[in-house]
Amino acid sequence: MSHWMFNCKEVSRRVSESMDHRLPLYQRMLIRMHLLMCKYCTRFRRQLLLMREFSRSPQMAEDFLDPTVVLLPDARERIRQALKSSSA
């Protein structure tokens, strides 16, 4: 890794790390520069933010803890068929 630029692997690691705690300013700046040029890392960051937002939603927590939320029979059958065809 050069001192003035992060590669995609480094950016994805640090973007993930930034979800847990605030990064130093120089790292945030290097990430931002990389994101301006890289649509793949930008997409990765956006997906992480969406997953974090979704997992924190009260409805998601309710659904996860509600034992009456189950798969519909047709969804169960599609999964069963997919598993059967992938093991054949």
| Residue boundaries of the structural domains of the chain | 8-87
Most confident of 18-27, 64-73, 76-85: 18-27
* Residue 3: pLDDT over 70: no
pLDDT of residue 33 exceeding 90, the answer is: yes
Q: 14 in the Ramachandran plot: left (φ > 0), alpha (ψ -120 to 50) or beta? A: alpha
This prediction has a pTM of: 0.61
Q: Check if the beta carbon of residue 55 is closer than 8 Å to that of residue 88.
A: no
Radius of gyration of the chain (CA): 19
